[in-house]
Structure 1
Amino acid sequence: MTPDYVYILSANILAVIAILGFFLNFAVLYVVIKDRKNLWKPINLIIVNLSIQDIFIAIFGCPLAFMAAISHGGLWTQLRCQWYAFMMTTLGIGNIGSITMMAIERWLMVRMSQTLSVGKAFMLAGAVWIYAFSLSLPPIIGWGEYGPESLNISCSVAWENYSSHNGKYIIYLFFFGSILPIAIIIASYISIIQHLKKSTDRIRNHYDFLIHYFFGLLEQCKQRDLKVIKMVVLMTVSFIITWAPYSYVALALYFFNYPAPPLVLVLPCLFAKSSIIYNPIIYAFRNEQFLKSFKKFFHINQ
């Protein structure tokens, strides 16, 4: 028997996540679209894609889970649970896909000296959705299974179903939805760091004034890139931290039949959903141009 306080606590946390997640991500969308002249850039368009995904979680995912918590898990029918799980899996995978695309965009900019066009940024955003659907659709068509989780407060992959076809889908999902994108992100940043280190070494090894001046300008450019890189790294770390407990519990449930207590079942799921709050905060405080536009359009004194 699950204590009432677990459902009450879950409902309150979900309400806070939904409200903050919606308004913070809406502010990002509003400012970027409103100030297209200054902010309509490839990296920002990928962030817009991420904000759209987070807004869907805020207006659909959290409220339905909130109602499920209020009803002590009595909200879900089989069909409702399946489609909720499909939607949330698509959006969650879309999040890591968007963050991966941001790392690739930074790698192209810094390491390969290639600037994406706005059109190509839109294509990358579309590719993220295709990638997300390719991982979330299999249970809908019979490979893998969706079901209730977290004391019936939410629905996701049926981690506690030990059938072989579900196990193969879980391995597929974790490899392409977690291990592979994180590996791409890490490889991108290692390559960027190596490139920036070589640029710095070149500056230190040249004493001719004109050459030193040229590389000094180059380094200033790199420093501007570095601010964006730090922002993307923070988003990546934030995403991994918020989703790691959920991943560990899910794997423990499937592979080790872990008898988790109620709070251990619920809190990782809620912590994962809270990721929709952190991205717009990191973006706002790490992007000087966005802060300037934000203060302008919301009439905040400088």
Structure 2
Amino acid sequence: MTFNHVYVSSANILAVITVLGFSFNFAVLYVIINDRKHLWKPINLIIINLTIQDIFIAIIGCPMAFMAAISHGVFWTELKCKWYALIMTTLGIGNIGSITVMAIERWLMVRMSQTLSVRKAFMLAGAVWIYAFSLSLPPIIGWGKYGPESLNISCSVEWENYSSRNASYIIYLFVLGSIIPIAIIIACYLSIIQHLKKSTVRIGLCKKRDMKVIKMVVLMTVSFIITWTPYSFVALALCGFNYRASPLVLVLPCLFAKSSIIYNPIIYAFLNDQFVKSFKKFFQINL
């Protein structure tokens, strides 16, 4: 596949991700906000946080990458690339942060018989943004470096920059932005599974509706890991093993990671009966 084909194909894929990602996430956000009576619950407020992050990716990240693709990578200036990378890194870390909070909320509900209040859910949503900025901001102030990636279609951390400051930042980013959140998520669900296995009356401890929410959060977690793992592997290979990939191998993981904004609203819609009812009501769908 030639560079020209890669750029054209990437632009087409990004256009699809933009339209679907924005439409699906906006629909979820619109319905939750407008049906506060039934959907204004702590877990759904974290969903709102995740949805807002995905909408920003759809209206900022994908369109700018689309422009870069149709210009064959000459779209970026140094300043534009740096701030794009900051925004996208913040939103990506915010995604895993929101999903981690959802896993903790499920753990509290099942293991500790505690539910978050709406106020605490808002506070945790704000904490996710602070957490995300704490991981994305260092390259702006000199620790680490942002630059073009994927044939200049996107911008992110300069994975191939081997300076000690950049290497230490990459370790910081991977440990706090990937390894620890995933470890917390896995620990939460292993604890939930262990607890449910010990129960002789599962429905009494965890209602059918609550089990659906657990399945929803698990699927969102799995979806996030699947879509971001190829990108993480390529980034690590470039960073630590002096890997030299073909244009297609460089671009595909980046596009696959961006496509994650499509799946969360689909998972949420299919596993939330009340959302489906509210969706049909607000969009006047009679099925």
Q: How would you bin the TM-score normalised by the shorter chain?
A: over 0.9
- Using structure 2 for the length normalisation, give the TM-score: 0.98
Letter in structure 2 aligned against 1:261: S
Letter in structure 2 aligned against 1:233: V
Q: Deviations over 1:34-79 (max 9, x none)?
A: 1000000000000000000000000000000000000000011111
C-alpha distance in structure 1 between counterparts of 2:284 and 2:275, whole Å: 14
Give the 5 Å matches for 1:159-198: 159-198=159-198
Aligned equivalent of 2:286: 301
Q: Which of 243, 254, 265 is the matching residue for 1:258? A: 243
Aligned equivalent of 2:219: 234
C-alpha distance in structure 1 between counterparts of 2:210 and 2:203, whole Å: 13
- The aligned length equals 287
C-alpha distance in structure 2 between counterparts of 1:26 and 1:282, whole Å: 14
Aligned-CA RMSD value: 1.2
**Which SS does the other structure have where 1:8 is aligned?**
helix
Letter in structure 2 aligned against 1:153: I
C-alpha distance in structure 2 between counterparts of 1:13 and 1:293, whole Å: 31
C-alpha distance in structure 2 between counterparts of 1:63 and 1:155, whole Å: 13
Letter in structure 1 aligned against 2:245: A
**Which SS does the other structure have where 1:147 is aligned?**
strand
Larger radius of gyration: 1
Letter in structure 2 aligned against 1:93: I
C-alpha distance in structure 2 between counterparts of 1:6 and 1:169, whole Å: 30
Letter in structure 1 aligned against 2:53: Q
Cα drift, residue 2 of structure 1: 5.5
C-alpha distance in structure 1 between counterparts of 2:191 and 2:115, whole Å: 17
C-alpha distance in structure 2 between counterparts of 1:33 and 1:165, whole Å: 43
Cα drift, residue 222 of structure 1: 3.3
Letter in structure 2 aligned against 1:165: R
C-alpha distance in structure 2 between counterparts of 1:20 and 1:224, whole Å: 28
Task: Report if aligned partners of 1:147, 1:156 keep a CA contact under 8 Å in 2.
Answer: yes
Aligned equivalent of 1:85: 85
C-alpha distance in structure 2 between counterparts of 1:109 and 1:183, whole Å: 19
Please tell me whether residue 114 in structure 1 is matched to residue 114 in structure 2. yes
Aligned equivalent of 1:38: 38
**Which SS does the other structure have where 1:162 is aligned?**
coil
Letter in structure 1 aligned against 2:16: V
User: What are the ranges of 5 or more consecutive residues in structure 2 without an aligned counterpart?
Assistant: none
Aligned equivalent of 2:146: 146
C-alpha distance in structure 2 between counterparts of 1:228 and 1:123, whole Å: 21
**Which SS does the other structure have where 2:73 is aligned?**
coil
Cα drift, residue 223 of structure 1: 2.8
Task: Report if aligned partners of 1:110, 1:222 keep a CA contact under 8 Å in 2.
Answer: no
Letter in structure 1 aligned against 2:108: L
**Which SS does the other structure have where 2:162 is aligned?**
coil
Letter in structure 2 aligned against 1:129: W
Q: Which of 229, 232, 256 is the matching residue for 1:247? A: 232
**Which SS does the other structure have where 2:112 is aligned?**
coil
Cα drift, residue 224 of structure 1: 2.4
Task: Report if aligned partners of 1:249, 1:265 keep a CA contact under 8 Å in 2.
Answer: yes
Q: Deviations over 1:156-207 (max 9, x none)?
A: 000111111100000100000000000000000011111111222xx4xxxx
Cα drift, residue 218 of structure 1: 1.3
Aligned equivalent of 1:206: none
Cα drift, residue 237 of structure 1: 0.2
Task: Report if aligned partners of 1:196, 1:222 keep a CA contact under 8 Å in 2.
Answer: no
Q: Deviations over 1:134-167 (max 9, x none)?
A: 0000000000000000000000000111111100
**Which SS does the other structure have where 1:155 is aligned?**
strand
Please tell me whether residue 218 in structure 1 is matched to residue 199 in structure 2. no
C-alpha distance in structure 2 between counterparts of 1:299 and 1:108, whole Å: 36
Q: Deviations over 1:10-49 (max 9, x none)?
A: 0000000000000000000000001000000000000000
Task: Report if aligned partners of 1:6, 1:262 keep a CA contact under 8 Å in 2.
Answer: yes
Q: 1:194 to 1:253 in 2, by over 3 A?
A: same
User: What are the ranges of 5 or more consecutive residues in structure 1 without an aligned counterpart?
Assistant: 204-215
C-alpha distance in structure 1 between counterparts of 2:203 and 2:9, whole Å: 54
- Using structure 1 for the length normalisation, give the TM-score: 0.93
Letter in structure 2 aligned against 1:16: V
- Amino-acid identity (%): 82
